[in-house]
């Protein structure tokens, strides 16, 4: 694997860097810095999506024939790395990175023509209906039932931990269409309009204090049969394809590295005239160095996967490895932030009595105010997209042959 950039790739990187400098709105960057969860609020994320769509870069992971950029795997990586370094928000992946590849790989021509342009335009905001009470990591045990009645499916059941369902107007979901076969063989993939009668969304407020996830209830919801993606019983195959994209569809190291950079800079802040807060403590430096080495190692693994994809090979179970490593690192880095800011990480007013009017600039930053919320929110990283235990099992079976 050659990690030196060609002149063409270096020029592409510089083009992206210049674009971000000129067109990343300050309010979007500020919104990303103040976001405690994985996804920014739609008014921030959709504003950034619109900027990228105008540039023709929003579907940067899509093939050109489906409205994407047709960029190489390395160009996609460079774009993500520059976006992370510029402080841009995470793109809302549910439509762009999870559903879109399903549609252009498994969907009908009519579905491609309807769904893909509306993702890019922002007309449709998607959520993902996979997990259920009692069927999260054991997704094959899902019970939401879809019964064919003429040219519609009657759907009954519920989905839980549904991110941004309170903002979304559409949901892609797994339903059980056959109860007489093996569990995995009876699952299908269905697109549901959330304004259909019988759909209700109930908020779930987390310990972090945010409203990011929900429970969605489906009571006699009539869904057109044309909204079935693939055939009946293809849902498990499509879900495995989608989950590989969820686990490895983005490079995690650039964003983790950016967040670690911010923490290091804040730790060295000497604006109070008393020197760094933790920068001179040996244990702190050791923890930061360990995290930095782990981020660098993850980046090398991700670049190796990119190299394999560029040769026409599938990422496969390696995405479980990157998901496992990134989840643990996310939690380690968020804990560093909590330890750095201490009570200042709760709210700014709490910090003033501790530091006085000459508090370090780090204390006054948005990062301090969201540190605890991010730490609490990131507890979910080792659960969503498949728990650490699930990823370890996949690695053991697929890579180690155990």
Residue 306 binned pLDDT confidence (cut-offs 50, 70, 90): confident
User: Is residue 67 one of the residues assigned to a domain?
Assistant: yes
Residue 391 binned pLDDT confidence (cut-offs 50, 70, 90): confident
User: Is residue 271 one of the residues assigned to a domain?
Assistant: yes
Q: Residue 389: count other Cβ atoms within 10 Å of its Cβ.
A: 12
Cα–Cα dist 326/131, whole Å: 21
Cα–Cα dist 310/74, whole Å: 8
Q: Do 74 and 18 fall within a single domain?
A: yes
User: Residue 349's pLDDT is what?
Assistant: 44
User: Which one, of 320, 315, 305, 299, lies nearest residue 387 by Cα?
Assistant: 320
Cα–chain-centroid distance for residue 52?
Answer: 18
CATH of the domain at 182: 2.40.110.10
- Write down the catalytic residue from 41, 80, 246, 302: 246
Cα–Cα dist 129/175, whole Å: 9
Q: Do 272 and 374 fall within a single domain?
A: yes
Domain count, the chain: 3
Radius of gyration, alpha carbons of the chain: 22
User: Is residue 120 one of the residues assigned to a domain?
Assistant: no
pLDDT in tens, 239-284: 988 887 765 556 889 999 999 998 888 887 755 444 455 777 888 8
Helices (H), ranges, 311-387: 318-341, 348-355, 366-377
Q: Do 332 and 203 fall within a single domain?
A: no
User: Residue 164's pLDDT is what?
Assistant: 96
Tokens at 163, concatenated: 């991110």
User: Which residues span the domain enclosing 15?
Assistant: 7-91
Active site includes 246? yes
Residues counted in the chain: 402
Tokens at 76, concatenated: 């996609």
Identify the domain boundary among 91, 113, 145.
Answer: 91
Ramachandran category for residue 21: left, alpha or beta (phi over 0 → left; psi -120 to 50 → alpha): alpha
Kind and range of the H or E run holding 145: strand 145-149
Q: Across the chain, which distance is largest between two alpha carbons, in Å? A: 75
pLDDT in tens, 109-118: 999 999 999 9
pTM: 0.86
Helix (H, G, I), strand (E, B) or coil at 86: helix
User: Residue 357's pLDDT is what?
Assistant: 47
Q: Do 147 and 53 fall within a single domain?
A: no
Q: Do 226 and 262 fall within a single domain?
A: no
**Residue indicated by tokens 């003033």:** 352
Helices (H), ranges, 56-162: 73-86, 93, 100-106, 109-121
Q: Do 26 and 74 fall within a single domain?
A: yes
pLDDT in tens, 343-376: 555 544 444 443 444 444 444 456 667 888 888 8
Identify the domain boundary among 69, 91, 113.
Answer: 91
User: Is residue 103 one of the residues assigned to a domain?
Assistant: no
Q: Do 264 and 387 fall within a single domain?
A: yes
């Amino acid at each position: 694997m050659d990690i030196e950039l060609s002149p063409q790739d270096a020029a592409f990187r510089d083009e992206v860097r210049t674009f971000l400098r000129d067109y990343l709105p300050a309010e979007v960057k500020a919104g990303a810095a103040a976001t405690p969860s994985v996804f920014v609020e739609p008014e921030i994320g959709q504003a950034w999506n619109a900027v990228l769509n105008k540039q023709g870069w929003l579907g940067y992971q899509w093939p050109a024939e489906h409205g994407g950029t047709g960029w190489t795997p390395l160009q996609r990586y460079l774009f993500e790395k520059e976006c992370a370094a510029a402080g841009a928000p995470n793109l809302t992946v549910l439509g762009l990175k999870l559903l879109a590849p399903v549609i252009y790989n498994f969907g009908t021509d009519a579905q491609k023509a309807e769904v893909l342009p509306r993702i890019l335009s922002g007309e449709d905001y998607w959520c993902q209906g996979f997990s259920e009470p009692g069927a999260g990591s054991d997704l094959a045990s899902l019970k939401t039932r879809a019964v064919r009645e003429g040219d519609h499916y009657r759907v009954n059941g519920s989905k839980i931990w549904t991110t941004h369902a309170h903002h979304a107007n559409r949901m892609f979901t797994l339903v059980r269409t056959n109860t007489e076969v093996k569990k995995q063989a009876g699952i299908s993939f269905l697109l549901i309009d959330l304004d259909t009668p019988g759909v209700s969304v109930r908020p779930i407020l987390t310990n972090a204090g945010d409203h990011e996830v929900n429970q969605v209830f489906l009571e006699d919801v009539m869904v057109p049969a044309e909204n079935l993606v693939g055939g009946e019983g293809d849902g498990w195959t499509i879900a495995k394809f989608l989950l590989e994209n969820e686990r490895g569809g983005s490079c995690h190291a650039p964003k983790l590295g950016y967040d670690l950079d911010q923490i290091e800079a804040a730790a060295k802040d000497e604006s109070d005239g008393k020197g760094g807060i933790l920068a001179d403590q040996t244990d702190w430096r050791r923890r930061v160095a360990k995290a930095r080495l782990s981020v660098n190692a993850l980046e090398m693994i991700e670049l190796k996967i990119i190299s394999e994809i560029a040769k026409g090979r599938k990422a496969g179970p390696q995405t479980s490895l990157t998901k496992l490593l990134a989840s643990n690192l996310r939690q380690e880095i968020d804990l560093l932030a909590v330890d750095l800011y201490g009570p200042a990480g709760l709210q700014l007013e709490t910090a003033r009595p501790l530091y006085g009017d000459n508090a370090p600039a780090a204390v006054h930053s948005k990062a301090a105010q969201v540190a605890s919320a991010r730490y609490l929110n990131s507890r979910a990283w080792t659960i969503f997209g498949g728990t650490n235990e699930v990823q370890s099992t996949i690695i053991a079976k697929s890579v180690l042959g155990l």
